[in-house]
Amino acid sequence: MTKDKVLDARPDDDQFDLTLRPRLLAEYVGQEQVRENLSILLEAARRRDEPVEHVLLCGPPGLGKTTLAHIIANELGVAIKVSSGPAIDHQGALGSILLNLTSRDVFFIDEVHRLNTVVEESLYPALEDFRFDAVLGKGVGASAATLPLPHFTCVGATTRQGLLSGPLRDRFGAVYRLDFYTKAELEKIVGRSARILDIEIHEDAVSEIARRARGTPRIANRLLRRVRDYAQVRSDGRATVDVTRHALAKLEVDEIGLEPLDRQLLETVIVKFKGGPVGLDTLATSLSEEPETIEDVHEPYLIQIGFLARTSRGRVATELAYRHIGLVPPAPATEQTRLL
């Protein structure tokens, strides 16, 4: 199966995501500082009639990194080629993509921190000097060749900037970090998505979804679609606030957006490990989850809202976490207790 076929074989929710994504910066909600700086970058490149410098987008999943990559291509009026770190598993795969780019195309690499070392080192000259160093043939007859590349723009996206090597990070001329969205920003996103999907939704229902969306547009749109399903099957199709609350209760999404695994994580730290500290691998084993899932998907929001803290010794539950799951936080240790 070719890469193009893989991209075409998307589940329905991903197809909806494509329709809900804004196409231009003017349509993009939130991330004001990033939007302004990116707008300046694009306009300066247009005025100089030059390709845009390589861009690195960082931040938790679902905040709009892929959307911004497509917006960059749309704003420039060029094609975008999409791949990901794990998919580019050897030098030949990278070369095939690079040699098929045309001038000023955008090459988007999702999960760029997951490129293997050989591929990453082959990417360096492509990003810096727009050339691809290839080895032609095998064995004693092999020879090195340098192939010129068109001037393109690479947009990398990563949820874990700290895992990027220094040489790769330094080859991106513009680095932007995306933060969680405010409730007001999410309300605008949910309202826009509801209009696109032709959902009759009340303003207080929009607010309810935004409040439980964990500061993440992708989650807001997912919850909106599930509310639409519930409204059509269990009600008259209108997403009132009561219908919305019932739908989200069925999904076990609580008042601040925590899902079952979030609450299970907090309960594990608090009950099984007495509030912590507990190491990531130990916590993952207790939850039968991958450490990367906990670290990339669940922890960022729990840390953002002050329910979990990372320390040098491991994860620690805060007083807010105890109160949220209905437990009394432990009394602070006295000086005499600490000495004992």
What digits encode the pLDDT tens for the residues 267-300? 999 999 999 899 999 999 999 999 988 988 899 9
Q: Flag whether pLDDT at 109 surpasses 90.
A: yes
Active site positions, annotated: 65-66, 110, 159, 218
The segment(s) of the chain belonging to CATH 1.10.10.10 are 260-328
What does the pLDDT read at residue 139? 56
Order of strands, sheet of 153-158, starting from the edge strand that comes earlier in the sequence? 80-84, 106-110, 153-158, 55-58, 174-177
> What is the per-residue DSSP string for 16-27?
HHHHHS-SSGGG
Average pLDDT over residues 119-133: 92
- Residue 249 is encoded by which pair of tokens? 């209760």
**Does 328 score more than 90 pLDDT?**
no
Q: Does residue 133 register a pLDDT over 90? A: no
CA dihedral 23, 25, 26, 30 (to 10 degrees): 110
Task: Report residue 332's pLDDT band, with 50, 70 and 90 as the boundaries.
Answer: low
Give residue 245's pLDDT: 96
- Encode pLDDT of 294-324 as tens digits: 988 899 999 999 999 998 899 999 999 999 9
How far apart, in whole angstroms, are the C-alpha atoms of residue 151 and residue 326?
A: 58
Choose the CATH number for 183-250 among 3.10.180.10, 1.20.1050.10, 3.20.20.70, 1.10.8.60.
Answer: 1.10.8.60
Q: List, by residue range, all CATH 3.40.50.300 domains of the chain.
A: 3-177
Does position 146 have pLDDT exceeding 90, yes or no? no
The answer to whether 110 and 76 have CB atoms below 8 angstroms apart is no
Provide mean pLDDT across the span 16-43: 88
In Å, what is the CA distance from 38 to each residue of 30, 53, 240? Answer: 13, 11, 37
Q: What angle do CA 168, 37, 153 make, to 5 degrees?
A: 40
List every span in the chain annotated with CATH 1.10.8.60.
183-250
Q: What is the dihedral of CA 90, 71, 78, 43, to 10 degrees?
A: -120
Domain 3-177 has CATH 3.20.20.60: no
* Rounded mean pLDDT, 20-27: 90
Fold of 260-328: Arc Repressor Mutant, subunit A (1.10.10)
